[in-house]
Amino acid sequence: MKIFVLKSKIHQARVTSKNIEYSGSITIDRDLMDKADLREYEKVEIYDIENGERFSTYVIEGERGKGEIILNGAAARKVEKGDRLIIASYAMIDREEIFQPRVIILDEKNRVKLEKKL
């Protein structure tokens, strides 16, 4: 039997910008993508801590070291600059497989405060 498990999570990411005119996605600093084990175009679930919005989109690579978290397209209407987000991706694995998600927790400037495997 296969099950879905949490693969990656960026916790407390702050929205740095919104771009409603773009065709969709979330732009994430490449350094944060690497630390959280996220790939470009990977599907992610977004949970807005401030307003409770929950939606899915895909990842676009942002510039390294900028700390950018930018919501694009329709998703930009669901958040405000400064909102704190949880960005999560999931994987399907065999039920018997041992797996540890990669989690990073960010500070208010989107710098890694804590990095761990659950």
Q: Which domain holds residue 24?
A: 2-117
Query: What residues are annotated to the active site?
Result: 25, 58
pLDDT at residue 117, rounded to an integer: 74
Tally the domains of the chain.
1
- pTM for this entry: 0.95
CATH code, 36: 2.40.40.20
pLDDT at residue 118, rounded to an integer: 67
Residues contacting residue 51 through CB under 8 Å, at least 6 positions apart: 78, 79, 80, 83
Radius of gyration of the chain (CA): 14
Query: With a cut of 70, which residues of the chain have pLDDT below it?
Result: 118
